[in-house]
Structure 1
Amino acid sequence: MKRTVTLRAVVAALLLAAGLGTAHAGAASAAPTAAPAEDAFSVSPGLLDAMRRDLGLSTREATERLRAERAAMGIEQAARSAAAGAYGGSWFDAATGRLVVAVTDSARAPEIRALGADTRLVRHSAAALDRAKSRLDSLTAPAGVAGWHVDARTNSVVVDVVRAERTAPAVRAFVERARATGPVTVATTAAAPRTYAAGTVGGDPYYTGNVRCSIGFSVHGGFVTAGHCGRAGAAVRGWDGSAMGTFQGSSFPGDDYAYVSIHSGWWTVPVVLGWGTIPDRLVRGSAEAPVGTSICRSGSTTHWRCGTVLGKNQTVNYSQGAVYQMTKTSVCAEGGDSGGSFISGDQAQGVTSGGWGNCSSGGETWFQPVNEILGRYGLTLHTA
């Protein structure tokens, strides 16, 4: 199968230059792959352009931020281990360019600061906040509640209420029940989230039935994407309309992820499309980016877009039901972008689920973390 467009030629040249082979069977692995050693920090002009457009940064500011975010990503796990049971969450502070680690015990602070992170003393541990959120997850929310999440910066579980519905009796009643589960605060959001499937690879389009979605990341044997795009057993057609593969597993709601196996004639590559905005990105691992870092998304409708990680472990209340353990971003998206790639540097982060707004007026988007998908189906990320 050949795609006779410049984009595929660019991908092929990129792969040949990197000395990459075709996909092969690999051992199942649910663990995130580590961020690589500093790769001379060769930031493409297109990526800097996208960060100027979407984050309002100058070239110098974008370059410095990417370097600082890479450093924060490298020390987050060590800082979490140093905090142990006193860990209260962490986030990247764009103003200082440093990772901030919340702790419930000030005695843990010196060891964490020695790693290169700042600390903040808080009342509740991350484990306590997660338990409170789990209790909240057992409740059924009305449509006026957009979702809820653990927020390390406020050291609470934040319930997001649609602004126009905040005084509705059902919403007020839910908030009262939520407050009884633990340390809860309430915030408002402009609109309810929705999924981004469109009727009619990462980032390339595929089709199932009359729905167009986007490929997330190549894994050995196929790719991962959003669960709301298709059910197990559904046939998948590629960008050219030819038979491409089959949904082997899918979960939505509750989760929003799926695994598609591909047929002979198709192959997997560790690449996320830059759509001409930036050079196509090689995927080298899946180290998780902290809250506060910049992140970009590739999708078949709005192509390459960037923003910031706003929160993790969020529950999103779609009309079809709640989805748990999502990551929230300020990146915009539109119909057809569902399932597409979220990537930070060269590290895979997750697949696009849904959100509110669009890329003309702005909005927010959630993704399902990729490491959870790999673990669920016993998959191995295809990396360069």
Structure 2
Amino acid sequence: MRRTRLQHAGLAVLLMLGSWTAAGTLPAAANDSSTSADSSASAEAASASPGLLQAMQRDFGLSKAEAEARLAAERKATALAPAARRAAGAAFGGSWFDAGNRKLTVAVTSDAAPSTVRAVRATGARVRTVEHSARQLDTTKAHLDRLPAPAGVSGWSVDPAANTVMVNVVEDERADNDVQRFVARAREAGPVTVRTVRGAPRTFAAGTVGGDPYYTGNVRCSIGFSVHGGFVTAGHCGQPGAGVSGWDRTYIGTFQGSSFPDNDYAWVSVGSGWWTVPVVLGWGTVSDQLVRGSAEAPVGASICRSGSTTHWHCGTVLAKNETVNYSQGAVHQMTKTSVCAEPGDSGGSFISGDQAQGVTSGGWGNCSGGGETWFQPVNEILNRYGLTLHTA
């Protein structure tokens, strides 16, 4: 069992408390030639644990070589994305990782100068011409953020590949008058596309159950990432001042900061003989993963999550800066993924390769029938509270 192994290994008991997200990718990239791409993939994936590759093979239907190549391509795409955005300038329309060609694709508006297009291509990214700039799409989304949203609207975000603001409407609520009014007002704000989803989002906290959790009262959640002095997790799991206990019900520490709704993040101080290590748990399914940084993976990249309820699952980054409309209120600047989760996974870590991405917030569906899950980006949490990620 994971708990016994960690205790015998002398690792921090803290890590045994909650869900951890094991990431399915740290963007790596393929070169133009197939030969150099294969060698690059092998070199970049050399640090990937066998367990991580196995999880990607299981959840994406890839061979070992394909998983290694994807990790390498995503790592490269992540590294070149900032330079490609700078090269696009005001013509930037968004970017995403294309798993089909293993390249970062950068959208530029049709009025972009030829020199701008050449500059973007020179970074190694592919170019797609679009109608709307990222600034226009962000402005439209910001307008929607100011509108009161009914429960039948589950969220909205910029979709760079579709060059639109995607509004998600729960399938059974499409005919609701409030939903129709929201959609009509949204379309007046700018380029908007409506997508139907199967379920409404919910947070993934849970009542007290067995497993490897941390507890706040009778609520069970999962640890996200170790920071110097404690760990980060989901805001809906506890309020500032609330005490936290571990899987064995011994005292760990206290919520020092928490925000929910509007945001969904928190941090917990650690003491009383507990300590932190830069590890995301594999739960015996895959190897425990070292955390080496927090470089942000692009849309389209693979990503994995580990939680105290459902352990390891992988999927794809679907959208960033999405507003999620929970019953408790809207939460902003979330990242949407195709990874499943269930109650008790809240707060757990999303990781891409060895790079921390965020803490599990909520979603719809489950790990039997599938679904979507959102996380709050870890860099936002670190910046908000002035924390330093504990890295290997």
What is the aligned counterpart of 1:79 among 80, 84, 90?
84
Which ranges of 4 or more aligned residues in structure 1 deviate by more than 4 Å?
A: 37-40
Say whether the 8 Å CA contact 1:204–1:273 is kept in structure 2: no
Is the partner of 1:130 in helix, strand or coil?
Answer: helix
Note if 1:48 corresponds to 2:53.
Answer: yes
The match for 1:303 is 311
Residues 1:364 and 2:363 are matched in the alignment: no
Q: Which runs of 5+ in 2 are unaligned?
A: 13-26, 29-39
For 1:362-383, what per-residue CA distance to the aligned partner results, in whole angstroms no more than 9, with x for missing partners? 1110000000001111111111
* Structure 1 residue 335, shift from structure 2 partner: 0.6
Residue number among 133, 153, 157 corresponding to 2:161 in the alignment: 153
Correspondence for 2:141 among 115, 133, 147: 133
Q: What is the root-mean-square deviation of aligned Cα atoms in Å? A: 1.9
Cα offset, 1:106, TM superposition: 4.7
Between 1:39-48 and 1:338-347, the stretch displaced more is 39-48
Q: Trace 1:83-232 onto structure 2 (pairs within 5 A).
A: 83-104=88-109, 105-107=112-114, 108-200=116-208, 205-232=213-240
Q: How far apart, in 2, do the equivalents of 1:367 and 1:80 lie?
A: 24
Shift of 1:9: 3.8
What code does the residue aligned with 1:68 have? A
Q: Is 1:340 aligned with 2:348?
A: yes
Q: How many residues align?
A: 359
CA deviation string 1:74-94 (max 9, x = no partner): 111111111122211110000
SS in 1 for 2:81: helix
TM, length-normalised to structure 2: 0.88
What is the CA–CA distance in structure 2 between the aligned matches of 1:152 and 1:4, rounded to whole Å?
42
Once the two structures are superposed, residues 121-177 of structure 1 have per-residue CA deviations (whole angstroms, 9 ceiling, x without a partner) of: 112111221111111000111111010001101111110000111111111111001
Q: Deviations over 1:30-55 (max 9, x none)?
A: xxxx99x9766233222222112211
- Secondary structure of residue in 1 paired with 2:189: coil
Quick check: 2:360–2:373 contact (8 Å CA) kept in 1? yes
Residues 105-124 of structure 1 deviation map (CA, whole Å, 9 limit, x = unaligned): 15322111111110111121
Report the secondary structure of 1:180's partner residue.
Answer: helix
Normalised by the size of structure 1, how large is the TM-score?
0.90
Q: Aligned residue for 1:24?
A: none
Q: CA deviation at 1:204?
A: 5.6
Task: Note the residue ranges of structure 1 that are not aligned, 5 or more in a row.
Answer: 14-33
Indicate the larger mover: 213-222 or 56-65. Answer: 56-65
Larger RCO, structures 1/2 (Cα 8 Å, 6+ apart): 2
Q: Please say if residues 45 and 72 of structure 2, whose CA atoms lie closer than 8 Å, have aligned partners that are also in contact.
A: no
